[in-house]
Amino acid sequence: MRRLTTFFIVLAMIAGSAFSAVDSDGFHGPNLLKKNPNVELYVASTKGTPKYVSGILKEAIPKGMELQAAISFFEENKSAWRMIDPATELIERQLDYDQVGGRHLRLRQTYKQLPVIGGELIVHYNANDQLTTVNGTYLADLTVDVQPTITATSASATAKADMLDTFAPGQQSSIELVVFPWQGTDHLAWRIFLLSSTPMGRWEYLIDAHNGELIFKANRIMNVEAIGTGTGVMGNPRNHIDTDDNGSNFRMIDYTRRASNNIHGHNGQMASGSVIQTYIASSSLPGTVATDADNIWDNSLTQWPAVDGHVYSALMYDWMLAQFGRNSFDNNGSSMFTSVNYSAEGDNNAYWNGSQIVIWSWSTGWRSLAGCPDVIAHEWGHAVTETTSGLVYQLESGALNESFSDMIGSAFEFAHDTMDTPDWYMGENGVIGGNGFRSASNPHEFGDPDTYGTGDPYWFDVVGCTPQYTNDWCGVHTNSGVGNKWFFLLSDGGTHNGTVVTGIGVANAIKVAYQANAFYWNSNSDYHEAALATMSAADDLDPSGAWKIQVSKAWNACNVSVPGPSLAFSYPQGVPTTLQPNVTTTFEVLVSGAVGGTPVQGSGKLHYSIDGAPFTEVVMNEKSPNLYDAVLPATACGSIVHFYVSALEQSFGQYFDPTPTDPFTAHSATSVNTLLADSFETDLGWRVTGDAIA
């Protein structure tokens, strides 16, 4: 017998360029994730970097070691993401714990110690201390000069001048130097937030730190659209309003959600200094705290919106705590402030402004939006999103932001059916004689899409769209219809575009959506990444897999393609890479169902090719249900064997692992020695003569 020795030297010379060793996919160095047998799902971004990876990626991660384990994982797989040094490029943003024992670590991307806008990865650990999923966006191949030529003061002045010219006077609340990849160019930019009170604004500006040009701006106040209203004068008395008596009058200040002041049995967990407080705003914010002499809040139209705003915000706190274990909108027990009757900017609107929710005054034919439980919950939903995934309010992430607020608004309304008749309309109490302004069950009713993509006549095409106020930040309120339809199908079930979905109930559906938003989505998640995340969330909450199947079906019904029922392959003893010459090699193959798939017993096959010959197919020996012995034939020393396995799923036919076009590879040899391996990331002293042709 002889040993097969591999000797790899890859040389390339391009004028003006450094050497680069890449694999067939264009990654720097080998992408180990693609052929890792423990990876069950691998989804790449349009730029080739992993966007969503799941499986049992690491075992036995002790609590408190999440960051170290994540950095170790990325170090082992940095070529897949085209990272240089994960330990310096990734910093911990926050570590969250869910209600089923999972831990979720959010990491921010940096470039030469500067934050990268849009760069965020999330690493997930299950209750068994396994690293199971990595998702998010890593922006590879950045090239930016990080030394600014424009000062922070100059950039702030540019932003303030623009805001004064186009909106209102603004005061700077924060400024930082960032790397901002935008529309194909990597910018060094000053990121500035400016606040104004009349009209209410919370503007984000990005000013190029090299030439001083305005790259991007957006008002980050999130609203429900200027077409809704609601009132407390709908014949629904409020018999329990938590107020404060200061000795001279009663005020809408609720202390009862504090952990130490649980006098009504709300089981609140608010901090000792936190309250739920409601203001009557008029033409300025936040306005004055709502007051009354006798604690009977029914003597004027001015008070009715305050009653519903106060009651629904308090119930929203209770519901979030009971449903998700979430202590206020930020999970830190912070105060919840509501202002009603705000008249400085117009009528029939509501928004979250970064510190409170604001309900506008109303015009003829409308009622105050404070009377809509779904609208109040919708705005608090924006607050939840801001303090979890941070979905950017533009393009698909903005549509998802809006949709989640509609989801939580609908779920809150259904959970409080004794206070308001629940339905799938948004803001139906607002329009006198109308049905509100959006529908989750039938988005087309209001001109919103129920199916992803331009095949739906109402879809707002975001390709090439530049987000701005005049196009609703590329249709965030329109394209939210797709997420709304998914949530309706997951809750109530139904047939859509030929796909039948069995509902899991609205209370369970919102748990899936919240789990995804709180722990899996990131600031730039689009619908496809969001859909994959909801499947992971369903796995977290329902280990039986029943919810995950319906999550998948509901997304596919809306034309957001995600994996359906399928098969997963694993190899208890590993996959052979070296074969002993002239003897057969046996390894185990375990076939299991994924996303509700059911393997057909006895259908497992091995496919192999020796030295480039056509593939031969053989039936594997089934030792026990769906556990097989795969036997590779005896081969001569020096042969190269390519192979893959397959099995049948009960409803969807044959599945392969890996794909027939990218099979496993094994060498027939007593051992394989690699004499040289050079990633070309460091200078090993190579000298090159001749040109690229030579």
Is residue 16 exposed (0-12), middle (13-18) or buried (19+ Cβ within 10 Å)?
exposed
Closest to 102 (Cα-Cα) out of 132, 135, 74, 75: 132
Q: Which residue carries 């609590």 as its tokens?
A: 63
Diameter over CA atoms, the chain: 100
- Output the CA torsion 124→222→226→236 (10° steps): 70
Q: Of 187, 310, 382, 477, which is the active-site residue?
A: 477
Omega of the bond leading into 572 within 30 degrees of 0 (cis): no
- Output the CA torsion 150→156→157→161 (10° steps): 130
505: left (phi over 0), alpha (psi -120 to 50) or beta: left
DSSP 404-437: HHHHHHHHHHHHTTTTS---SEESTTTBTTS--S
Structure tokens at 470: 């005049």
Q: How far apart are the first and last CA of the chain?
A: 37
Q: Of 66, 89, 120, 379, which is the active-site residue?
A: 379
At a CB cut-off of 8 Å and minimum separation 6, what does 309 contact? 278, 338, 340, 357, 359, 370, 376
Residue type, 249: N
Give the angle 130-391-467 at the CA atoms, nearest 5°.
145
Paired with 352 in beta bridges are 222, 357
d(CA 243, CA 254) in angstroms, rounded, equals: 5
The β-bridge relationship of strands 114-125 and 90-97 is: unpaired
The β-bridge relationship of strands 4-6 and 672-674 is: parallel
Active site residue 477: yes
| Catalytic center residues | 379, 477
